[in-house]
Structure 1
């Protein structure tokens, strides 16, 4: 959805930076990490535009996340069904996979929390449940911030590739290790054998 259309429907976004997210979540007590475009920028060093910030937590840790944020922020469950206010004590809908965060009704949205599945505390890829990794292997860390590994970020983009995703691949590809590139190539070949990235990888 174009940014202008999004803001007409849902209101403005002024997203946190990864550093601001770190300061907010520093004493959260459960793992969190940055995914999406910010993770690609951190890996490549190539600046890009950001409409939002995708912060990820394990869905099983959501009660801890809610306790941490509900003191100062309004939380909303986001899904294909729309938005639902997550008032303290209200159950998170099973179909919702994101939590949107803002300070109050007249304030801009500041971030999205993506609820990631886990297998006994290990990270699981949404697009392929057979891909299960210790979080320390699925992410990398710099300056107190964990980022999803670039090949895993790019794997999420295969099912709905936009021009900015092609730009992310071009920026990341020369910096991927042979193992990272081979893994991504195998993933794309298995899940989208006609995808244009097959020729690039």
Structure 2
């Protein structure tokens, strides 16, 4: 009896993320990301919580624009299967983890709660959406950098004037502090002076818990 061909070998996602753009496009395909003006239509009908993270969430708070390489939308990890069913046959999600880069489908239905999903229509189409999963503890947002830190989702997100839900700026900066790429440092430089003292205290505590010697602490 014929069997399905084995899946292609899975590259290390860390290596994927650090490939030069031309090399990335050659091996994995390019990006044509959604934006805040198109994401609502894409997510229409998904009845679980979702919110915009990353650079777009910082921009929604500051009003200061910059180029964006992708669109990051997070969902609770416990809703990953519901999201896969929502995408149906219209889109093909891939799971990006520390040890694999593989289809998120009936063959591989399990995903780690702190991994992410990349979405495209098919192998000939560009990626349109990056979905970093957010671990949850009994439905509460859980900090993937510090699993003991949990909060109600409404306390770490906000609804902007455009009607979309975004990660609060201090939450986005906490995750950016873990990588501190050039764009992350730029976002921090623009955003930090605009944060309230309460937000700065939250960020200071979160970054200190992650790395007590982090360079950003001196700015907080």
TM-score bracket relative to the smaller structure: over 0.9
Question: In the alignment, what sits opposite 1:105?
Answer: 123
> How many angstroms does 1:89 deviate by?
6.3
User: Aligned equivalents of 1:144 and 1:11: distance in 2?
Assistant: 32
Measured on the aligned residues, the alpha-carbon RMSD in Å equals 1.8
Q: Which moved more, 1:101-110 or 1:182-191?
A: 182-191
Higher Rg: 2
Q: Which moved more, 1:174-183 or 1:94-103?
A: 94-103
Q: Which moved more, 1:16-25 or 1:2-11?
A: 2-11
Q: Contact 1:102/1:110 (CA < 8 Å) preserved in 2? A: yes
Question: In the alignment, what sits opposite 1:182?
Answer: 201
User: Aligned equivalents of 1:89 and 1:62: distance in 2?
Assistant: 15
Gaps in structure 1 of 5+ consecutive residues: none
User: Aligned equivalents of 1:102 and 1:64: distance in 2?
Assistant: 17
Structure-2 change in CA distance of 1:96 and 1:82 (3 Å): farther
Q: Contact 2:146/2:209 (CA < 8 Å) preserved in 1? A: no
Q: Which has the higher strand share?
A: 1
> How many angstroms does 1:198 deviate by?
1.7
Gaps in structure 2 of 5+ consecutive residues: 1-17
Whether 1:53 aligns to 2:67 is no
* Alignment: residue pair count: 201
Q: How does the TM-score come out when normalised to structure 1?
A: 0.92
Q: Contact 2:95/2:111 (CA < 8 Å) preserved in 1? A: yes
Structure-2 change in CA distance of 1:95 and 1:30 (3 Å): closer
Q: Contact 2:95/2:101 (CA < 8 Å) preserved in 1? A: yes
